[in-house]
Structure 1
Amino acid sequence: MKIIPKINITVTAILLLVISFASCRVFTSAKNTESEKIIYPSPPDTARIQFLTSISSSEDISGKQSKFKKFIFGEEKPLQILKPFGVYFGEGKIYVCDIALKALEIIDLKNNKFDLFKPSGKGVLKLPLGCFVDGSGNIYVADGNRRQIIIFDKNGKYINAFGETKNYKPTAVFVADGKIWAANVKNHAVHVYDKKTCKFLFKFPQANVSKNAYLNQPVFLNVTENEVFVSDFGDFKIKIYDKKGKYLRSVGTYGKLPGQFTRPKGIATDKDGNLFVADAAFENVQMFNSKGKLLMHFGGPGGGKGNMSLPAGIFVNYDDLDYFEKFTDSDYNLKYLIIVTNQYGPEKLGIYGRIELKNGK
């Protein structure tokens, strides 16, 4: 009979204990405590948005490495988000386009994992600006330097890449209605492709359109049930089209007053038709109703909690509230989440919540 030395039993037990603790760990970011709730607008007005917390490195997901784990496994340097741009948030995972690392950070909140997705070969990323994940878990990346949309399966395996050789620099991608929608900043248009075949279908606006319909520098887009919202960085407006590319209306003008834009970037909408616009110059997010009326803004310049530093991407999430409800003010219910990327500053991903008083006011 083979006898296992006692020292091996001890080491094995220790390793199993460490692994057990790691697998049971819960998302532990605690950058915003009960005593420092940050809400917008400030009292005495009724709060509508609350800054919940932020994520900037793997330590915000799994916590700092313990001395015990450092002794057993050696020192592990935390993974840092460097320069985030586009973002997608769904099914318990946050996908971040990091243009400094030429990679995606994939944050798995359910399993407390923070991975750097940096493929090689056919799937290599050169300037990942926008990303989207479809219902099958396939990942779509708009790469400005490759001039392509690159597709990976849910396990990160390369599937396909497509694009155009001239006047093509995709900055954002969205998948809806069996189509792939891409903002092309070089050709002043949104290009639409068949999801199954990746073949080009049409683009909009067409040539010789009105000044209002023309896209100067389309950098972000958002597709809803009936409309396509495009952030026109070069014309300081958010332009809205129907799904055939017909121009409908716009939100905002150039200027420094509330409701105006100077450097509009990321856009998102909620289920009520409200529009969120991140402005890199104002370093805030403005919220408009479905008719384009300014409702409020949140964020602001500076290094304090809840503030923003060159914000870029934004995404609205209704399905993963459980991970962030513990940060919500006890007097409020959390309706949905708003995630904003900051290209500079200490807090690279700001997580905000749309909140409502529990008494329904």
Structure 2
Amino acid sequence: MTPSSDAIEAQANANATPLVWPKPPATERVRYLRSVHGPDDWGISHSWLRRLADALSGNGKDVFMRPSAVVERSGVLTVADPGAQAVWILDQPNDSYQRVSQVGPLTLVSPVALAQGPGESVFVADTVLNQVFQLDRTGKLLRTISSQGLERPAALAWDDTAHRLFVLDSKKHRVTVFDGNGALLRHLGGSGGDNAQFNHPTHMALDAGTKAGNLLITDAMNFRIQSLSPEGKFLWQFGKNGNGTGDLASPKGVASDSAGHVYVVDALFDAVQIFDRQGQLLLAFGEHGTARGQFTLPRGIFIASDDKVYVADAYNQRVQVFLGAVASRPVTKESLK
């Protein structure tokens, strides 16, 4: 019987010194859980049919090449991997996985972004094909969104309540909104440095700290995080360029936990910074390197409903998993004094 991913996680942690932030004797706020390099690390066995197919094809062990985005739901870990030109769907409950490189008649070239869709589906954006694909749990193509003038779809967000898909177009400096059937509804933003304008935005997520379907957007070359309503109304922003703690030097993935803390991946710092909604830095974790809790040019971040934090550690060829601030102990400005 194949051990569950949680069982593997528990065993790994039992055999290693706990890695937490901030360091003892301060109160723990974030805890490292595990690293996932491929199906084996997610508790998925290799059937004799897959082993035979791999042997005949000359394929070695399946591992991520350059993961850029990740989502997780009910034990299914989905990873966008432009290095492998594929999307990985690691289905632990069904002890199976798919390395999806074909979507209908097309071959993926640069799948960089993901969003959980309705039911068990997932949306994938390819920045070379300039298309968004909706896949089912097995990797089968359900829908293609490609005819609305997308030039570089770099990030995705799905509002399951309103049935809206938000596509961040980095080249056009805007968000394009589609309904659940893929019909164009509106565009949000535009090029510039004012509120609700963008300069090469790169990442986006729904704000889990509210129930209003608001967006968190990494406005990369304006060195800030912006929050917009689903209709494009500016709500708030924080951030500035710099090389100090709390600055946004090379901001990438953004996400929020259930308490509204905003997590921002920074590829220059090789770290994740946690802010409150006024932009006050609460905690940073990670540093450059290859060991547990270290990063090399990290990209995407995803926070699951249980407040576990998944970081696409691109050039370490892995996804790292952490117990976030809410699930561990709430982070507040006062609690870190």
| Structure 1 residues 237-266: Cα deviation after superposition (integer angstroms, max 9, x where no partner) | 111112210122212110011111111010
- Secondary structure of the residue aligned to 1:261 is coil
Structure 2 match to 1:155:
138
- CA displacement at 1:163 relative to structure 2: 2.7
Does residue 183 (structure 1) correspond to residue 153 (structure 2)? The answer is no
Does residue 192 (structure 1) correspond to residue 173 (structure 2)? The answer is no
1:315 to 302, 320, 332: 302
Structure 2 match to 1:323:
none
Larger Rg, first or second structure (1 or 2):
1
Contact 1:184 1:190 in 2 (8 A): yes
Contact 2:301 2:311 in 1 (8 A): yes
- Secondary structure of the residue aligned to 1:131 is strand
Q: Matched residue pairs, number?
A: 315
- Secondary structure of the residue aligned to 1:60 is helix
1:204 aligned partner, one-letter code: L
CA distance in 1, matches of 2:60, 2:16: 31
| Structure 1 residues 32-62: Cα deviation after superposition (integer angstroms, max 9, x where no partner) | 4454110000012111000111000233234
- CA displacement at 1:184 relative to structure 2: 0.2
1:136 aligned partner, one-letter code: G
Structure 1 match to 2:328:
356
| Structure 1 residues 63-95: Cα deviation after superposition (integer angstroms, max 9, x where no partner) | 8989xx989x97983211010001111121111
- CA displacement at 1:109 relative to structure 2: 2.7
- CA displacement at 1:349 relative to structure 2: 0.6
- Secondary structure of the residue aligned to 1:344 is helix
Correspondence list, 1:11-160, <5 A? 21=1, 24-27=2-5, 28=8, 31-62=12-43, 77-160=60-143
Contact 1:25 1:112 in 2 (8 A): no
CA distance in 2, matches of 1:293, 1:52: 26
Residues 123, 153 of structure 1: CA spacing in aligned structure 2 closer, same or farther, 3 A cutoff? Answer: farther
2:310 to 308, 321, 339: 339
Structure 2 match to 1:6:
none
Gap regions ≥5 residues in structure 2:
none
2:183 aligned partner, one-letter code: K
Contact 2:203 2:254 in 1 (8 A): yes
- CA displacement at 1:304 relative to structure 2: 1.7
Deviates more, 1:282-291 or 1:27-36: 27-36
TM-score if structure 1 supplies the norm length? 0.80
1:356 aligned partner, one-letter code: S
- Secondary structure of the residue aligned to 2:274 is strand
Residues 339, 179 of structure 1: CA spacing in aligned structure 2 closer, same or farther, 3 A cutoff? Answer: same
Structure 2 match to 1:219:
202
Contact 1:123 1:158 in 2 (8 A): no
1:301 to 288, 292, 304: 288
| Structure 1 residues 203-242: Cα deviation after superposition (integer angstroms, max 9, x where no partner) | 11157x7624320011111123332110112111111112
- Secondary structure of the residue aligned to 2:145 is strand
CA distance in 1, matches of 2:242, 2:232: 27
Identity of aligned residues (%): 25
Structure 1 match to 2:246:
259
CA distance in 2, matches of 1:31, 1:213: 44
CA distance in 2, matches of 1:38, 1:111: 31
- Secondary structure of the residue aligned to 2:41 is helix
Residues 249, 74 of structure 1: CA spacing in aligned structure 2 closer, same or farther, 3 A cutoff? Answer: closer
2:152 to 158, 166, 169: 169
CA distance in 2, matches of 1:160, 1:276: 31
Contact 1:94 1:106 in 2 (8 A): yes
Contact 1:236 1:264 in 2 (8 A): yes
Residues 178, 58 of structure 1: CA spacing in aligned structure 2 closer, same or farther, 3 A cutoff? Answer: closer
Residues 91, 206 of structure 1: CA spacing in aligned structure 2 closer, same or farther, 3 A cutoff? Answer: same
CA distance in 2, matches of 1:137, 1:243: 23
Structure 1 match to 2:222:
235
Gap regions ≥5 residues in structure 1:
1-20, 320-335
Contact 1:188 1:216 in 2 (8 A): yes
Residues 112, 160 of structure 1: CA spacing in aligned structure 2 closer, same or farther, 3 A cutoff? Answer: closer
Residues 31, 64 of structure 1: CA spacing in aligned structure 2 closer, same or farther, 3 A cutoff? Answer: farther
Structure 2 match to 1:204:
188
Structure 2 match to 1:289:
276
- CA displacement at 1:120 relative to structure 2: 4.6
Structure 2 match to 1:277:
264
2:171 aligned partner, one-letter code: K
